[in-house]
Amino acid sequence: MDALDNAAPSVACPRCGYSLRGQVGLWEDCCPLRGTCSECGLEFDWGDIQRQRRLHWLFEHAWRQQPLRSFLRSFLAVLRPWRYWRALGMTDAFRPVGCVLFAVLSILVTPLALCGWDTIAVWYEQVIQGGSSLVSLGGIIEDIKWACAVDFEYIFARHFSAVSAAACIVTIPAAFVLLPFTRRVCRVRARHLFRAAAYSVGWLSWLALAWVALDLLRGLPLVDNAARFLLRVSRLEALAHTIDARQWVYMQTIALTTLPLTLWWGWATSRYLKMKHAWLIALTLSLLAALVAFGLEDLRLLVHFQRGGK
């Protein structure tokens, strides 16, 4: 009790930040084990209020000491968000620089993986399969650059919209903060939303890796036939021929971004933020993010056509 009673005025609800010193002042003989925030209704352990854990496996906490190891462990952890958000708590130490660095590095994972694949493919074709040890290093580097440029143009420029993906990632936490209804009902500190949004980039990077892998494997007969069958059954191929190519790119980007983000924020709001109606909130905000992304992309197309673009 003395530790909390003499603590700084930072004795606050882990979720909404409401000051709990009024409840501390009502204690007489002992400190209760559990408490409830009168502002947002969160039930918590009083022992967790002043405890700020530093997790050795989390990149946000260990990026200075073990940058590569902690990034790999965190990047693998976000692949299972249902366990990730159970292991991370609202009272754990918040390090915004580590969150930003994780998001930036996660964005670079897919391009670096694609470059690594092209490097191995060119090396195998020219040195191993070619059977020659006299291949110039300069020629190999030029072939790698050409292969990377072709793949980047095909996968990212023609099949991916960075504006749509960024709009979906940013809109969901922004809606928590900016919309009066969600701000009044949810009552969540901005740091928790920032953390969830930053780590969602790693979750989406896994999706991008899977998308690139499937695209690279489409040359295999089994994978190509399976893709054609799915397109024919879902009638997406017929839909793609009826709309503009740019519209098709951002439509598939929004669809492939909002669906995983719904799962991500569903687990984050239920297991990390411990909110009621968590999945309904996640679904509603994901639909809002999709609408915002559609609006931005339509505005871009309108400006493009007004300037005489094709």
Same domain, 86 and 106: yes
Does 246 reside within a domain?
A: yes
Domain that holds residue 249: 59-306
Most confidently modeled range among 14-23, 42-51, 64-73, 169-178: 64-73
Structure tokens at 251: 């439509």
Q: Is the pLDDT of residue 116 over 50?
A: yes
Does 251 reside within a domain?
A: yes
Same domain, 32 and 64: no
Q: Which of 114-128, 214-228, 261-275, 291-305 has the lowest mean pLDDT?
A: 214-228
Rg of the chain over CA atoms, in angstroms? 24
Same domain, 190 and 43: no
pLDDT tens-digit profile of 26-37? Answer: 776 777 778 888
Same domain, 299 and 168: yes
Structure tokens at 80: 């299972």
Gap between the Cα atoms of 284 and 182, Å rounded:
11
Query: How far from 293 is each of 60, 77, 144, 209, CA to CA, in Å?
Result: 29, 28, 34, 22
Same domain, 21 and 169: no
Return the sign of the alpha-carbon dihedral for residues 41, 43, 45, 50: negative
Same domain, 181 and 142: yes
The stretch 87-97 carries a mean pLDDT of 91
Domain boundary among 49, 68, 88: 49
Same domain, 250 and 133: yes
Instruction: Using a pLDDT cut of 70, give the percent of the chain over it.
Output: 68
Same domain, 30 and 144: no
Same domain, 172 and 223: yes
Q: Give the pLDDT confidence score for residue 195 in this predicted structure.
A: 94
How many domains is the chain built from? 2
- HEC letters along the chain: CHHHHCCCCCCECCCCCCECHHHHHCCCCCCCCEEECCCCCCEEEHHHHCCCCCCCCCHHHHCCCCHHHHHHHHHHHCCCHHHHHHHCCCCCCCCHHHHHHHHHHHHHHHHHHHHHHHHHHHHHHHHHCCCCCCCCHHHHHHHHHHHHHHHHHHHHHHHCCHHHHHHHHHHHHHHHHHCHHHHHHHCCCHHHHHHHHHHHHHHHHHHHHHHHHHHHHHHCHHHHHHHHHHHHHHCHHHHHHHCCHHHHHHHHHHHHHHHHHHHHHHHHHHHHCCCCCHHHHHHHHHHHHHHHHHHHHHHHHHHHHHCCCC
Q: Three-class SS of residue 231?
A: helix
Gap between the Cα atoms of 79 and 106, Å rounded:
12
Same domain, 22 and 153: no
Does 18 reside within a domain?
A: yes
Does 87 reside within a domain?
A: yes
Higher confidence at residue 75 or residue 217?
A: 75
Q: Give the pLDDT confidence score for residue 113 in this predicted structure.
A: 77
Higher confidence at residue 273 or residue 162?
A: 273
Does 54 reside within a domain?
A: no
The stretch 84-97 carries a mean pLDDT of 91
Distance, C-alpha 180 to centroid of its chain:
25
Same domain, 157 and 128: yes
Q: Three-class SS of residue 193?
A: helix
The stretch 285-304 carries a mean pLDDT of 82
Gap between the Cα atoms of 128 and 69, Å rounded:
32
Q: Give the pLDDT confidence score for residue 53 in this predicted structure.
A: 81
Same domain, 42 and 185: no
Does 31 reside within a domain?
A: yes
The stretch 147-170 carries a mean pLDDT of 71
pLDDT tens-digit profile of 127-143? Answer: 655 555 545 666 667 76
Q: Give the pLDDT confidence score for residue 1 in this predicted structure.
A: 46
Answer whether 21's CB lies under 8 Å from 194's CB.
no
Q: What is the mean pLDDT of the chain?
A: 77
